[in-house]
């Protein structure tokens, strides 16, 4: 196996250690939904892929990235610039300096991923199916 290394804003990424994992299994969503809190070992970034498909109505959700402090308080770190309102695959890339060369993405976000984080799907209206995958960088 060949180890491919690249640098993002001075942070080296070992692509051999990067593997996709399921953040949220395919599920029907009719209310706000949070992933489990994720433990980031040493990654500087993450790619999050959100697949939506219509259920009883058109999706209308805004993805948000959160962290949890030592007291258990949820702290909002980022909110998508636009809600997801169609059946689609939306890809968000979180890296220091923003993503460059990652191809077509929905939104590039300039940030480091904290030690503990979670995805919050802020549902405005609708009932739909969502599935979420992520890959550390």
Total Cβ atoms within 10 A of residue 119: 21
* Res 63 pLDDT > 70: yes
Percent of the chain predicted with pLDDT > 70: 82
Nearest by Cα to 135 from 59, 50, 12 = 50
The tokens 């051999």 sit on which residue?
16
14-61 pLDDT, tens digit per residue, is 455 568 999 999 998 889 999 999 999 889 999 999 999 986 677 899
Where residue 59 sits, what CATH number does that domain have? 2.60.120
Q: Phi first, then psi: what are they for 75, rounded to 5°?
A: -120, 125
Q: How far apart (Å, rounded) are the C-alpha atoms in residues 137 and 18?
A: 6
Q: Exposed/middle/buried for 56, CB within 10 Å: 0-12, 13-18, 19+? A: exposed
The reply to whether 8 falls in a domain is no
The reply to whether 1 falls in a domain is no
Question: What is the count of structural domains for the chain?
Answer: 1
pLDDT value at position 131?
96
pLDDT value at position 7?
47
């Amino acid at each position: 196996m060949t180890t491919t290394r690249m640098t993002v804003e001075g942070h080296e990424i070992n692509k051999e250690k990067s593997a996709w994992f399921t953040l949220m299994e395919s599920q029907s969503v009719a209310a706000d939904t949070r992933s489990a809190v994720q433990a980031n070992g040493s990654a500087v970034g993450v790619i999050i892929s959100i697949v939506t498909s219509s259920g009883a109505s058109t999706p209308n959700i805004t993805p948000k990235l959160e962290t949890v402090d030592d007291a258990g308080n949820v702290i909002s770190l980022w909110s998508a610039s636009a809600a997801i309102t169609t059946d689609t695959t939306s890809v968000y890339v979180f890296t220091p300096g923003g993503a460059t060369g990652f191809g077509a993405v929905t939104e590039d976000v300039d940030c480091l991923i904290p030690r503990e984080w979670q995805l919050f799907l802020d549902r405005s209206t609708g009932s739909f199916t969502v599935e979420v995958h992520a890959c550390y960088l």
